[in-house]
Amino acid sequence: MEQIIQSLRSIPADRISFEEVGRVLYQTDPASYPYAEHLPEKVTTGYSRKIVTLDPIECLVLYWSPGAASAVHFHEGFWGYVAVVRGICQNVEYAMKDGILRETSITTVHAGGIVPEQDNIIHTIRNGSETQPLITVHFYHPALVNLDGLQIYDLANGRIGILNDQAASASWDEPVSSFSRITDHAFSYDTSGDDEPASHIIRPLIPKPDATTISNMLEAYYDDQATMYDYL
């Protein structure tokens, strides 16, 4: 993990952006991340999290029990990426319009894949397996020292909760003391299914080659073409 963190730290402060962090991370293979020493408690329900660093970009490792999911929550003022180290991760996005929340897309990502998380999205991350754990590494900017102010949605009851700095996870399983405010009847969740949400699958087969490898591949290709041209 240290090598990845050092690569992120090499980005000048005035150049840290969603695109630049993505450029660094997409050159890595999440399935080979050395996460073991940073693995949080292996819980049997829900998920656990452990912060690796907050400087300059937050990096944390999450362990998801089979079938676990975060509450649907709103990214306000921060963005990031979720690297899937082990298991099957599903990212479900929603849109709110006129007080009605609707599911808009589902992306299934296998080990080695990366989920981009833009600012101002409503989504949930969940373990796509009911029998196997999921391990993910999350990168966020600005760093979230805690979950204070995070807005989560209760789809079944139409509630919106605002977490405070005592919350350990983005979940409605948190005690009442972990919320600064809960608003009842705040929205309606549309389950009509009239519009089938878009579905995507990210299943990396091989790690993305580095620049030198790509250059060598291109050189070899054109050498072959030149040889064939001379032969003809």
Given pLDDT bands bounded at 50, 70 and 90, which one contains residue 226? low
Residue by residue, DSSP assigns 37-60 as: GG-----SSSEEEEEEE-SSSEEE
How many Cβ atoms from other residues are within 10 Å of residue 106's Cβ? 17
- Reference 67, options 149, 130, 21; nearest CA is 130
Q: Which helix (DSSP H) or strand (DSSP E) does residue 31 occupy?
A: none
Is the predicted pLDDT of residue 216 greater than 90, yes or no?
no
Q: What is the pLDDT of residue 145?
A: 84
Question: Can you identify the CATH homologous superfamily of domain 2-231?
Answer: Jelly Rolls (2.60.120.10)
The CA distance from 48 to 41, in Å, is 6
Is the predicted pLDDT of residue 48 greater than 50, yes or no?
yes
Given pLDDT bands bounded at 50, 70 and 90, which one contains residue 206? very low
Given pLDDT bands bounded at 50, 70 and 90, which one contains residue 212? low
156-178: burial string, b at 16+ Cβ within 10 Å, e else = eebbbbbbbeebebbbbebeeeb
DSSP 69: B
The CA distance from 136 to 38, in Å, is 11
Is the predicted pLDDT of residue 227 greater than 50, yes or no?
no
- Backbone phi, psi, residue 6, to 5°: -65, -35
Is the predicted pLDDT of residue 200 greater than 70, yes or no?
no
The CA distance from 62 to 35, in Å, is 10
Given pLDDT bands bounded at 50, 70 and 90, which one contains residue 193? low
The CA distance from 162 to 152, in Å, is 6
Q: Looking at the chain, list the stretches that DSSP marks H as alpha helix, in order from N- to C-terminal side.
A: 2-9, 18-25, 211-231
Could you report the per-residue pLDDT of 11-24, keeping only the tens digit for each?
A: 999 999 999 999 99
Q: Could you tell me what percent of the chain has a pLDDT over 90?
A: 79
Given pLDDT bands bounded at 50, 70 and 90, which one contains residue 209? low
Pick the more confident residue, 222 or 30: 30
Pick the more confident residue, 205 or 117: 117
Q: What is the pLDDT of residue 100?
A: 98
Is the predicted pLDDT of residue 205 greater than 60, yes or no?
no
- Inter-helix orientation angle 18-25/2-9, to 10°: 150
Contact 25, 83 (CB under 8 A): yes
Q: What is the mean pLDDT of the chain?
A: 89
The least confident of 19-33, 85-99, 134-148, 202-216 is 202-216
Is the predicted pLDDT of residue 165 greater than 60, yes or no?
yes
Q: What is the pLDDT of residue 228?
A: 44
Q: Mean pLDDT throughout 159-169?
A: 96
Is the predicted pLDDT of residue 170 greater than 60, yes or no?
yes
Q: What is the pLDDT of residue 191?
A: 87
